[in-house]
A and B are shown apart, each in its own frame.
Chain A
Amino acid sequence: MRIERELMRGAGPTAVLRLLAGREMYGYELVEALAAQTKGVLAMGQSTLYPLLYNLEAKGLIEATWHEADSGRERKYYRLTGKGKKRLKADTEQWNALAGAMTSIGVLNAALFGSPAAGGAA
């Protein structure tokens, strides 16, 4: 399912921050993880992901470092900064509130999404 660009613009950064909350990841890994974990809903091409990563980096929400992987290849790994963690927390709360509101008016299925208050934070 294709998500409208405006919705994607809001969801994409939060999704990336959420993925990086667990551990540091490199670009191709993020592309794959987004596609796999969202069943393709939040899959984004590299031409979208990398600008998104650079924007988050410019805002100080993530930081990047070059590492040599076990395979011997160099990769650029991204990880969440302290500022990024705060932003993820705030974004998560907003998404929960939004989901709750959408559920309460019947846009979201309550059986599938449950109580908005049950949503986890980073």
Chain B
Amino acid sequence: MTTDHAQPTLVRLAATTPARDWARLRLTGRLDWRAAIAEAGLPEPLADLVSRVVGRSRLWRSEKVDLAREMMAHFADGLHAGRTPEQLTADFGDPRRAGRLMGRAKRRGRHWAHRAFAHTIHGIGAVFLACALVYALLVWRYYTGEPRITRNFTAEYNSKIEQIPEADRAWGLYVESYNEAEPLPKPLEAAWPALAPEHPLYNDALAYLEREQGVISLLHRAAAKPHLGAPLSDTIDPRMRQATEHRTGPTDAPWPEPAANPMLVTVLLPELGHFRGMAKLLTFDAHVAARAGQAERAGRDIDTMIGIADHAAERPFLISGLVGFAIEALAIQTTSEIVHEFPDLLSDQQLQTLAHRHAAFMGGRPHADMTGERWFFEDVIQRIYTDDGKGNGHITAQGMHELLDLTGPSGGSELEVLPNPLAPITAAVIADRASMTAMHERLMARAEANTAGPMWEYDKREEANQQLDAMLADPIARVRYMPVALLMPALDKVSRTVESMAQRRDGVLTGLALELYRRDHGGYPPTLETLVPRYLPEVPPDRFTGEPLHYRLIDGQPRLWSVGADRNDDGGVAAAESRGDEMRWAPRETARQNELATPQRYDGDWVLWPIVYEPLTRDPRDEP
């Protein structure tokens, strides 16, 4: 007989007293089923059997008490009938199974609300367990996967550069020009390079220009080379160290060693900033030369600007092409300004040479080279995804870090604010390698198709970025295709920039043709068709409408224009407060609304020739 429960402690008594008895201030211990068994006086084997059965039932205390009472009554009846404890124990069956079955059966008899609650708790538990299992799987997958980097895009690019003969590479001369160039004096920055002789700092500018003549000579030599020939690296060319430190301040830090296989998006393009600065130096030099009647020098400066523009655009990166466009646009503007202000300065031969040089910019076809953008993407993908050898894989922990690095220290990325434990889940949301690549390729193909079409067809097509914008509007998709969103350029703007470049190029070629015609015939032609075919192969189209460019003589001077974004002919008059809006394409309806709402900015034509030179005669910061 069990005796260990015969005298329950006060704590146990309190714990096994139902609330109803508590309310009556009576410690009954009525729910203490062990005590009940002990008090029943059953032989020990039977008392033990009842304990085991009840203990396995997983019932509430009140139910256990009831079950214990019934079992004890059962065995008491058996003993009364003359059965021995051993016989009763043997007849009973497996107590563990009995306890389990009795408990289950009794629970079925509970109130439906209790059962519903229990089922809910079980359901939640099951869901939680399933989630925990899935999460464990995701964690394992996330932390065990490793990217396999198979391509070194930097090395591949550089091996092609090394195949270019040293004599054909301009990069060494550009490095020399970088090292010799004196940073633009601070006072000149605001007006540079459009300083008129009346400007109070003009003489300072001339002095600076004089000091930079050696640099300009280097630029002339460099721009005449057929190739830029600059290798790619994630560090600045060590030959530029001294000049760089001179500009940015000395540093004690060791000059960083280039990585063997740097992430392509981290490579530096130091030439671009230098080229932009040098293009401005050259345009100022060209204007100074023109004022001094130095035709050879002015023409050579413009020629050098075109050469630099071509070199800037030589690398297959979009940003390189766009900087090339900007420099070529400055070269076109400089050409127009000088020809307009000094109509007889440049020789016929110089005008023809400039026409040919402008026509040959970017191989005669201004375009956006997407090769580098594809490399960027492919390189990032190989660094963040696993590779199953069949074009698919999943994002890795290392890859996620690379992605965060790409967004920058305060890139505002959704990923950045995620706590680490959520990273495996986020990684599971991000599209797999094959889907990501397919999405990128789809958008890039659309972008390329769009850049191939003329601007006057834009109204008929879906904007290149519409699909990307729609995708990014969905927060899940934004995370799912984050690498695409990060690396996809603003494609619609790119295609417009390409078209604008083509329009400017057509403008300068037509303008130079008009000038050559004037020299041959003593006056400008009545129509542009007169120029064809001797001076122009055909009349270029207005990129906004597809119709021929507009032309007329105003006070004996030629004016060439596109109708601009508003698509209507304003007689070659630019908007009253032109800020370049007339040359920025907008959907026809948007452009109409802009014109109605802000006519002073939008109601006007895009004048392509002459691009009127308006040199600054004072510091714009001095204006009221």
Tell me whether A74 is interfacial, beta carbon within 8 Å: yes
| Cα(A58)–Cα(B69), bound, Å | 19
Contact (Cβ within 8 A) B73 A76: yes
B94 CB contact (under 8 Å) in A26, A47, A53, A66: A47
Contact mask B74-100 → A, CB, 8 Å, 1/0? 101110110000000001111101100
Contact (Cβ within 8 A) B105 A55: yes
Contact (Cβ within 8 A) A45 B102: no
Contact (Cβ within 8 A) B101 A58: no
Contact (Cβ within 8 A) A51 B93: no
Residue of B nearest to A66 (CB): B69
Tell me whether B108 is interfacial, beta carbon within 8 Å: yes
* Closest beta carbon of chain A to B344's beta carbon, Å: 112
B77 CB contact (under 8 Å) in A26, A55, A58: A26
| Cα(A26)–Cα(B74), bound, Å | 8
| Cα(A2)–Cα(B326), bound, Å | 98
Contact (Cβ within 8 A) B73 A27: yes
Contact (Cβ within 8 A) B92 A74: no
Tell me whether B70 is interfacial, beta carbon within 8 Å: yes
Given contacts A45-B93, A46-B98, contact A75 B108 (CB under 8 A): no
Tell me whether B241 is interfacial, beta carbon within 8 Å: no
Contact (Cβ within 8 A) B104 A47: no
* Closest beta carbon of chain B to A68's beta carbon, Å: 11
* Closest beta carbon of chain B to A121's beta carbon, Å: 27
Contact (Cβ within 8 A) B105 A45: no
Contact (Cβ within 8 A) A50 B70: yes
Tell me whether A73 is interfacial, beta carbon within 8 Å: yes
Specify which chain B residues have a CB less than 8 angstroms from the CB of A32 in the assembled complex: 81
Residue of A nearest to B88 (CB): A46
Residue of B nearest to A59 (CB): B108
**Within residues 1 to 37 of chain A, which ones have a CB less than 8 A from any CB in chain B?**
26-29, 32
| Cα(A42)–Cα(B574), bound, Å | 108
B91 CB contact (under 8 Å) in A27, A46, A50, A57: A46
A51 CB contact (under 8 Å) in B70, B91, B95, B105: B105
Tell me whether A48 is interfacial, beta carbon within 8 Å: yes
Contact (Cβ within 8 A) B77 A75: yes
| Cα(A75)–Cα(B69), bound, Å | 8
| Cα(A58)–Cα(B59), bound, Å | 14
A47 CB contact (under 8 Å) in B70, B78, B97, B109: B97
Residue of A nearest to B115 (CB): A58
* Closest beta carbon of chain A to B77's beta carbon, Å: 4
Contact (Cβ within 8 A) A28 B109: no
A27 CB contact (under 8 Å) in B74, B97, B98: B74
* Closest beta carbon of chain A to B58's beta carbon, Å: 14
Tell me whether A38 is interfacial, beta carbon within 8 Å: no
**Within residues 280 to 321 of chain B, which ones have a CB less than 8 A from any CB in chain A?**
none
Tell me whether A113 is interfacial, beta carbon within 8 Å: no
Contact (Cβ within 8 A) A47 B76: no
B69 CB contact (under 8 Å) in A29, A46, A76: A76
Specify which chain B residues have a CB less than 8 angstroms from the CB of A57 in the assembled complex: 109
Contact (Cβ within 8 A) A45 B108: no
Tell me whether B588 is interfacial, beta carbon within 8 Å: no
Q: Is the interface of A mostly helix, strand, loop or mixed?
A: helix
Residue total for B at the interface (Cβ-Cβ under 8 A) = 25
Specify which chain B residues have a CB less than 8 angstroms from the CB of A29 in the assembled complex: 77
Residue of A nearest to B91 (CB): A45
| Cα(A54)–Cα(B78), bound, Å | 20
Number of contact residues on A: which range applies?
20 to 34
Tell me whether B26 is interfacial, beta carbon within 8 Å: no
Contact (Cβ within 8 A) B73 A47: no
**Within residues 40 to 83 of chain A, which ones have a CB less than 8 A from any CB in chain B?**
45-48, 50-55, 57-59, 66, 71, 73-76
Given contacts A28-B81, A57-B109, contact A51 B73 (CB under 8 A): no
Given contacts A74-B69, A76-B73, contact A46 B108 (CB under 8 A): no
| Cα(A32)–Cα(B106), bound, Å | 23
Contact (Cβ within 8 A) A58 B78: no
Contact (Cβ within 8 A) A50 B98: yes
Residue of B nearest to A74 (CB): B73
**Within residues 95 to 127 of chain B, which ones have a CB less than 8 A from any CB in chain A?**
95, 97-98, 101-102, 104-106, 108-109
Contact (Cβ within 8 A) B93 A48: yes
Contact (Cβ within 8 A) B104 A51: yes
Contact (Cβ within 8 A) A46 B104: no
Contact mask B37-78 → A, CB, 8 Å, 1/0? 000000000000000010000000000000001110110111
Contact (Cβ within 8 A) B106 A46: no
Contact (Cβ within 8 A) A58 B108: yes
* Closest beta carbon of chain B to A73's beta carbon, Å: 6
B102 CB contact (under 8 Å) in A51, A71, A74, A75: A51
Specify which chain B residues have a CB less than 8 angstroms from the CB of A55 in the assembled complex: 105, 108
A71 CB contact (under 8 Å) in B80, B95, B106: B80
* Closest beta carbon of chain B to A23's beta carbon, Å: 16
Specify which chain B residues have a CB less than 8 angstroms from the CB of A54 in the assembled complex: 102, 105-106, 108-109
| Cα(A48)–Cα(B97), bound, Å | 9
* Closest beta carbon of chain B to A45's beta carbon, Å: 4
Specify which chain A residues have a CB less than 8 angstroms from the CB of B76 in the assembled complex: 73
Residue of B nearest to A73 (CB): B76
B109 CB contact (under 8 Å) in A58, A66, A74: A58
Contact (Cβ within 8 A) A28 B93: no
Specify which chain A residues have a CB less than 8 angstroms from the CB of B95 in the assembled complex: 47
| Cα(A76)–Cα(B73), bound, Å | 8
A28 CB contact (under 8 Å) in B53, B78, B101: B78
Residue of B nearest to A53 (CB): B105
Which residues does B use to contact A, with CB under 8 Å? Answer: 53, 69-71, 73-74, 76-78, 80-81, 91-95, 97-98, 101-102, 104-106, 108-109
Q: Enumerate 11 A-B pairs (CB-CB under 8 Å) in ascending A order.
A: A26-B73, A26-B77, A28-B74, A46-B98, A47-B98, A47-B101, A48-B101, A50-B102, A54-B108, A74-B73, A76-B73
Instruction: Report, nearest first, the 7 A-B pairs whose CB atoms are least far apart.
Output: A47-B93, A47-B98, A54-B105, A58-B109, A28-B77, A58-B108, A51-B101
Which residues does A use to contact B, with CB under 8 Å? Answer: 26-29, 32, 45-48, 50-55, 57-59, 66, 71, 73-76
Beyond contacts A28-B77, A51-B102, A54-B109: 20 other A-B pairs, Cβ-Cβ < 8 A, are A26-B77, A27-B70, A27-B73, A27-B74, A28-B74, A28-B78, A45-B92, A46-B91, A47-B92, A47-B93, A50-B70, A50-B105, A53-B105, A54-B106, A54-B108, A58-B108, A58-B109, A75-B73, A75-B77, A76-B73
